[in-house]
Amino acid sequence: MTTVRALVKRAADELADAGVASPRHDAEELLAHVLGLTRGALVGVDEVSEEHRRRFVELVERRAARVPLQHLTGRAPFRYLELAVGPGVFVPRPETEVVAGYAIDALRAMGGTPVAVDLCAGSGAIALAIATEVPNARVYAVELDPDACAWAERNLAGSSVTLVREDAAVALPELDGTVDVVVSNPPYIPMDAYDSVEPEVRDHDPAAALWSGSDGLDAVRMVERTARRLLRPGGLVVVEHADVQGESAPAVFASAGWWLTVRDHPDLAGRPRFVTARRSPRRLAS
């Protein structure tokens, strides 16, 4: 038998040496996963069996090789949810919870049966959070990639979300001019930023969910055009972007000529994170 404290200490040291950003947290999460416990419940465990130790050591080795923690545990927390994730789908990040929260707050304030569309839905995280926290909303999740769709189907099973496997650029024409909120976490990394992206993202998240042209804004421009088509006058668009796009992403909307009150917003760390705008009933004067 091996003590929990010794196992976690050795694993955290190994992960730190490998450049993992949160070594102790990840070590504890992996051990809790092996034991079938929550991380908080580890305080009540003194020793683990040899079989559990071997499984834990194997997972730590994979994590040290920069396989994402969420791929090893098969789950990712998102607001009040726990999502199934793995190879083939973008792992939702904590900063996107703020983006979803803004859309949720806006929908709650509307009353009735507001309509929301999540473009580039990936795992279905944003759409499912909206449907869970705003149960009166009618929610659509749009995703084209077949692997991501398979994960979204799994996560959205039993929910009220309508999953649409379609190109976001042309999706849901039957809803044109009727949607209250369009929200999206599109790909937004410039191609020339490849070497600066952490291995967990660069080597394991699907390329289609990451890269977006030379300036990282190709998908944001697509979302602007689709949101312009889908939203009713006064409808809200909420779009995540990279922290270095706090001026360039809002400029996509400001320059299009169809948007009022274009504003950028920070994440919980104070970094520029998402842009919002209201659909004008008519094209603005240039």
Per the annotation, binding residues for substrate are: 185-188
Question: Binding site membership: which residues?
Answer: 143, 185-188
Contact indicator for 209, 187 with CB cutoff of 8 Å = yes
* Helix (H/G/I), strand (E/B), else coil: 272: strand
* Helix (H/G/I), strand (E/B), else coil: 163: strand
Report residue 102 as tokens: 């803004």
In whole angstroms, what is the distance from residue 85 CA to residue 77 CA? Answer: 10
β partners of residue 259? 279
DSSP label at residue 211: B
* Helix (H/G/I), strand (E/B), else coil: 92: coil
What Å distances lie between residue 138 and 119, 130, 134, 271, CA to CA?
14, 9, 9, 31
Please give the backbone phi and psi of residue 221, each rounded to the nearest 5 degrees, phi first: -65, -40
Give Cβ neighbours of residue 261 (< 8 Å, ≥ 6 apart).
Answer: 276, 277, 278
Q: What angle do CA 21, 208, 201 make, to 5 degrees?
A: 10
H-only helix segments in the chain:
4-17, 23-35, 50-64, 69-73, 94-108, 125-133, 146-156, 199-202, 218-230, 248-254
Question: Binding site membership for S-adenosyl-L-methionine: which residues?
Answer: 143, 185
* H/E stretch holding 261: strand 259-266
**Cβ neighbours around 250 below 10 Å, total:** 23
